[in-house]
């Protein structure tokens, strides 16, 4: 039996979904994997922080978060401000880092993960920024400390995108990939195709929590671009930033373009592509017309799809239907189990 103390940075939708999943899977983790755990620290941006070496009551933490109250009442000692100070103070073997994504620099998540690895923790994140901007640094730091830096939830939530290349596909060299990696724009384009205006479709995406108050990261292609960069960096060994991806969003898609596509029996999709070109990778995110002969044609709503082209498998596709915080939380949990199993 192995016991792990866990620390969480970020306790929004994903952090709370992870807490609920940990509670639901507690008995299963112990029975099947010999893993027991306690959450010894939670740090939030707006609702305070808590540290308790004896373990924080997750049900009480969830209740406080849902009521918009501070978690500080659960702390057995003063919890320092700032994520790095929190990590150095909190006794834990695993850090779950779920702060907001910074596509430009990856901070402060990079500093959080760096501090966790220096403290001897496994570092697990759903944040794409550190994967794009500091993958090699964090990977090497984890190896030096005998720990794991894992990030399955950064692309397509809980779908096994990165882990499938670690074990199930030995000696498979990735030549390229294409797909729909941003579920928000896929939903918006689908609703526009049904007659809504761009603003109406965006408002609906915001109302169900798929789009932020400022939807530019999605509709201008930044979220898709950083996912392309992450896949290229990790799976193809060619480091890219989102700024290096040829990017075009969906703002220019007009009702007339959608009507013309319908007449052709086609649909507009925001398509991500990357292909190896010698020692580099050519990558793009841009709207494309796809017909019924394309696997992207039937990817609707908030679903996502990626198809990998390797030197041994000409086409291997993965579909994720209607993801949400719960599927992201599962990716974090899977990383925890894999780290614990070595």
Distance CA 324, CA 187 (A): 13
Strand partners, 6: 39, 94
Q: Which two tokens stand for residue 17?
A: 């979904």
Distance CA 239, CA 271 (A): 20
Distance CA 18, CA 155 (A): 17
Q: Give the N- to C-terminal CA distance of the chain in Å, as an integer.
A: 14
- Spell out the residues 6+ positions from residue 110 whose beta carbon is closer than 8 angstroms to its own: 129, 130, 133, 134, 137, 138
Residue of 25, 60, 128, 227 marked active site:
227
Closest CA to 232 of 131, 126, 109: 131
Concatenated DSSP letters of 2-25: EEEEEEEE--SHHHHHHHHHHHHH
Concatenated DSSP letters of 62-109: HHHHHTT--GGGG-SSPPPSSHHHHHHHS--SEEEE-PPP-TTT-TTH
Is position 266 annotated as part of the catalytic site? no
Strand partners, 289: 268
Question: Can you list the pairs that 315-319 forms with residues at least 24 positions away whose Cβ atoms lie under 8 Å?
Answer: 317/179, 318/156, 318/159, 318/160, 318/161, 318/164
* Contact of 253 with 246, CB cutoff 8 Å: no
- Spell out the residues 6+ positions from residue 184 whose beta carbon is closer than 8 angstroms to its own: 205, 210, 211, 215, 218, 219, 223, 302
* Contact of 282 with 275, CB cutoff 8 Å: yes
Active site amino acids: 227
């Amino acid at each position: 039996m192995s016991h792990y103390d866990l620390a969480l940075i970020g306790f929004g939708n994903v952090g709370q979904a992870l807490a609920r999943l940990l509670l639901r899977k507690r008995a299963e983790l112990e029975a099947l994997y010999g893993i027991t755990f306690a959450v010894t620290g939670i740090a939030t941006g707006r609702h305070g922080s808590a540290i308790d070496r004896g373990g924080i009551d997750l049900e009480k933490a969830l209740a406080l978060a849902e009521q918009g109250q501070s978690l500080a009442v659960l702390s057995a000692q003063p919890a320092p401000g700032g994520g790095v100070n929190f990590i150095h103070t909190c006794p834990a073997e695993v850090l779950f880092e779920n702060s907001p994504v910074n596509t430009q620099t990856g901070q402060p998540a990079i500093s959080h993960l760096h501090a966790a690895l220096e403290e001897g923790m496994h570092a697990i994140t759903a944040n794409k920024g550190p994967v794009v901007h500091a993958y090699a640094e964090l990977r090497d730091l984890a190896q030096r400390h005998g720990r794991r830096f894992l990030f399955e939830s950064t692309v397509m939530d809980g779908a096994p995108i990165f882990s499938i290349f670690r074990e199930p596909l030995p000696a498979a060299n990735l030549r390229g990939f294409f797909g729909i990696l941003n579920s928000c724009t896929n939903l918006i384009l689908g609703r526009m195709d049904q007659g809504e205006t761009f603003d109406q479709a965006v408002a609906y995406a915001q109302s169900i929590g798929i789009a932020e108050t400022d939807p530019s990261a999605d509709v201008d292609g930044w979220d898709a671009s950083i996912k392309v960069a992450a896949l290229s960096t990790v799976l193809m060994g060619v480091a890219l930033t989102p700024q290096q991806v040829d990017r075009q969003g969906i703002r220019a898609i007009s009702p007339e373009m959608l009507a013309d596509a319908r007449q052709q029996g086609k649909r507009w999709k925001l398509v991500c592509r990357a292909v190896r070109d010698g020692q580099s990778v050519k990558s793009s995110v841009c709207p494309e017309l796809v017909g019924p002969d394309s696997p992207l044609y039937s990817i609707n709503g908030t679903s996502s799809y990626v198809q990998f082209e390797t030197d041994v498998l000409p086409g291997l596709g993965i579909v994720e239907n209607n993801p949400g915080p719960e599927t992201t939380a599962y990716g974090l949990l899977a990383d925890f189990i894999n780290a614990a199993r070595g």
